[in-house]
Structure 1
Amino acid sequence: MVARNLVVIGGTSGLGLAAARLLVHEHRVTVFSDRPDEVVAVTNDLGCAGAVCDVSSYEQVRDGFASVVDMYGTIDGVATCASVWAGGDLESLSPQRIRRAVEVNALGTTYVLKEALHHLRRQGYGNVVYTGAMAVTRPRPGIPVYSATKSYGTSLVESLAEAQHSNRIKVMQLHPGPMPTQLQERVGDEFLDQIYARPEEVAGEVVRLLLLAPDDLYVSGERVLRADGRW
């Protein structure tokens, strides 16, 4: 397999980290995270590149992608796994928590996709895998803001996938159910379904989509649903 240049947004924990672990042995991986200590720890552990990047800042996203292009020349794929949890009834959420969820899950997703597609279009090929949530397709009580921000990402991805007019640039999305991750720990185990997938299991599907070749079957716009350990 030819080594590819891949970016994993939110690659220092949870699903992003699990995907990066699967990729580093055969590919050149760069992890993005807004936590400098995690970037240092993960890059040392995996032997990959990393960038401190708060996706809610367009300038940081732009500069992060530019640094990858400076290092490797191309970007073959981008997995966007960064997300901020906002659990609780709307009345109980602070304005600060609401703002941060919108900044990361909506604005951050927009900035990442804008820059990713800029570079993929310049090259004429590449894959983007957006990590949504099953809450988008199966509404759950108690997480209205989180669901709304993830619904924004889904709508954006679907529109962008249609706009590419080429299978060589694939824009896809994966919707996992609740997983035992750092984000999940903030919610509490009671939010987990009785049957659920571990990040390591879902990461295999992120990797499969990320490594699709430009001439593979037309799958841009594909929505993969994974609610638990089964299909």
Structure 2
Amino acid sequence: MAGGTFVVVGGTSGLGLAVARRLLGRQRVVVVGDEPWEVAAVADELDCPGAACDITSYEQVRELFAGVVERYGVIGGVAHCASVWAGGDLLDLNPERIRRAVEVNVLGTTYVLKEALHHLTRQRQGNVVYVGALAVTRSRPGIPVYRATKSYGASLVESLAEAQQSNRVKVMQLHPGPMPTRLQERAGAEFLDEVYAQPEQVAAEVVRLLLLAADDLYVSGEQVLRADGRW
């Protein structure tokens, strides 16, 4: 896709930061994070615009996308990389941790996709890539809440993709396995498989999907990659 601004939600660390770095130089990028100081630091490092946004607030998400459109015009694509870890047996999980995971991984995802598609549908072109988790397709002990919240996003993408009735607006999902990122540090070493992909490797696939043209043949809504480093 030649032109347009690309919004990377969760673009201040991990996979999101790798996606932003890979896009820069070819496209305008806006990095989005929830901590203003971190957004400012990353935007300064990458020499690109940044926006602080709590995606659990619909008003903030709406203002984020409206501001990008007002300032830069067409949105080329949106990478939704923001996520909150919630590992541990359900009986041991703090209720606050459960609530936060639901707010970010469920409500935040809903708000981001709602506003992204509002603008892309109006433009009649553009791509959304939702970064899920391999946990959606492979059950494992110790992550019932995390898996459930990420499964919500996968289900939402499938339904939204079907509703587009057009290949011009593509809604896609990608499911990485555990990677050496800040989220993985919070998860703990026991959840990092012996074989895994690096964020930069997965970012290459996210960017490829973001840059698909309106007339490129692609099955919107499909799980496009099991990005866990295996072959």
TM-score range, shorter chain: over 0.9
Alpha carbons 2:154, 2:173 under 8 Å: kept: yes
1:122-141 deviation per Cα after TM superposition (whole angstroms, max 9, x unaligned): 10000000000000000111
| TM-score normalised to structure 1 length | 0.98
Deviation larger for 217-226 or 15-24: 217-226
Aligned residue in 2 for 1:12? 12
What letter is aligned with 1:20? A
CA distance in structure 2 between the aligned counterparts of 1:195 and 1:122, rounded to whole angstroms? 42
- Structure 1, unaligned runs of 5 or more: none
1:25 offset after TM fit, Å? 1.0
| TM-score normalised to structure 2 length | 0.98
1:196-211 equivalences under 5 Å are: 196-211=196-211
1:9 offset after TM fit, Å? 0.4
CA distance in structure 2 between the aligned counterparts of 1:192 and 1:175, rounded to whole angstroms? 15
CA distance in structure 2 between the aligned counterparts of 1:96 and 1:175, rounded to whole angstroms? 26
1:1-231 equivalences under 5 Å are: 2-231=2-231
CA distance in structure 2 between the aligned counterparts of 1:89 and 1:55, rounded to whole angstroms? 26
Q: Show structure 1 runs of 4+ deviating over 6 A.
A: none
1:121-164 deviation per Cα after TM superposition (whole angstroms, max 9, x unaligned): 11000000000000000011100000000000000000000000
Alpha carbons 1:202, 1:226 under 8 Å: kept: no
CA distance in structure 1 between the aligned counterparts of 2:12 and 2:146, rounded to whole angstroms? 21
Alpha carbons 2:11, 2:32 under 8 Å: kept: yes
1:152-188 deviation per Cα after TM superposition (whole angstroms, max 9, x unaligned): 0000000000000000000000000001110000111
Q: Secondary structure at the match of 2:187?
A: coil
1:18 offset after TM fit, Å? 0.3
1:66-96 deviation per Cα after TM superposition (whole angstroms, max 9, x unaligned): 1100111111100000000000000111111
State the identity as a percent.
74
Alpha carbons 2:133, 2:150 under 8 Å: kept: yes
What letter is aligned with 1:182? R
